[in-house]
Structure 1
Amino acid sequence: MPKPVLEFWYDFASTYSYLSAMRIEAAAEEAGVALVWRPFLLGPIFAAQGWTSSPFNVFPGKGRYMWRDMEREAARLGLPFCRPDPFPQNGLLAARIALLGGDRGWGPAFTKAVYTAEFAKGRNISDPVILSEVLAELGVDAASTLEEAETEATKTRLRRLGEEAQSRGIFGAPTFFAEDGEMFWGNDRLERALEWAMGDRARRSGFVV
């Protein structure tokens, strides 16, 4: 029987998506759940609410709490963490590249490497040079990949993914969807999302009443 599936929607500028991205593969493997990685942009979703930046910038009190919480959670998970400057980072090009990587098997590795560059090393992930270095370290042809990322076909794919995110009610990242459409938001809901994905498959198979 195929594994139950969990969709992982993430934005490269999202602090809590970093925490999820760095641990989701191991957690999903232990739970017996297959992952679908969905890079998208939160900017248009925030703009629809009248925000011109991350809510962590729009609401300073929320931002102060988030940065301290990130320090605590990163330490708890054994992950390095530094505050990127500027914040939020522009993840547009990285998201386009991640889409291409998803087609070719290196999307998750690229995603984790970009998050590491951003939140562990404080590098600016909008810089094509930095993304080229990440690709080269993965053994991917950086020049051709960057060229393909700028094609209208790739741009259209990312826009449509953003439209799908809005149509499905996504308002932040990370967001997880089980096969029945149940939505979970936030790094602290990763385990619950995996449990639901497993339970939904069991219900569909008739093992749970």
Structure 2
Amino acid sequence: MPNAIEFLFDVGSPTAYLAWHRLQGIVARTGAALIPVPILLGGVFKATGGSPPGTVAAKGRWMNEDMQRWAARDGVVLAMNPYFPINTLTMMRVLAGLEGDSRFGGVVNTLFAGMWQQGLNMADTQVLTGVLTAGGHDAHGLLALAQSPDVKARLIANTEAAVALGVFGAPTCFVAGQMHFGQDRLDWVEAAAAG
């Protein structure tokens, strides 16, 4: 029996975007359940003293090239967002509010597309509303959901629980108690998921 894959992510991470697409194939091949967990990467960095890899100029240049290689290999469109880094708080609250909801995957795809295919300033409420609406979602309902105290608390709890587990960045996957960081470790995730 396959092991479930817990996927901790923030839509502001281009490597989480790449991982999200690769995980769909892994789930299809292994039959593993995918359990996406929205976290706030900024909150993780604040708690752990971390920072986006691109803050080191040479590392950022290398990562951009490396991510393009992965995207080309997997047939995924990746356009680096000129507004990066973007405050993802509202988007991640929307997703925290949709955990377990049938709309979750569609909204994730829409948000990732706005961020990493269209290169839009998704922190701008008008832009976010337009992207969600164009994706066929009830933008006003989702943005209202993001303001719910329960949803805000859920995102905080998800983020704090991630830090307590040793998470220091995104994407991070947990399979059968093993932690795997980064989209370039998904071969190990697939092996662990397959049991």
Q: TM-score, normalised by structure 2?
A: 0.91
Q: Give deviations 1:12-67, integer Å, cap 9, x for gaps.
A: 1111111011231232122110000111112122223445x52321x212111111
- Partners in 2 of 1:13 and 1:140 — Cα distance? 20
In the other structure, the counterpart of 1:197 is 193
Indicate whether 1:159 and 2:156 are aligned. yes
**Contact residue 15 and residue 171 of structure 2 kept, 8 A:** yes
Kindly indicate whether structure 1 or structure 2 has the higher relative contact order, using CA contacts under 8 Å at least 6 residues apart: 2
The amino acid that maps onto 1:12 is V
- Partners in 1 of 2:95 and 2:156 — Cα distance? 14
In the other structure, the counterpart of 1:55 is 53
| Aligned partner of residue 183 in structure 1, secondary structure | strand
> Aligned residues, how many?
195
> Identity of aligned pairs, percent?
34
Displaced runs of 4 or more, over 6 A: none
Q: Which runs of 5+ in 2 are unaligned?
A: none
- Partners in 2 of 1:15 and 1:127 — Cα distance? 18
In the other structure, the counterpart of 1:16 is 15
Q: Which runs of 5+ in 1 are unaligned?
A: 200-209
**Bigger radius of gyration, 1 or 2?**
1
**Contact residue 111 and residue 132 of structure 2 kept, 8 A:** no
Q: TM-score, normalised by structure 1?
A: 0.85
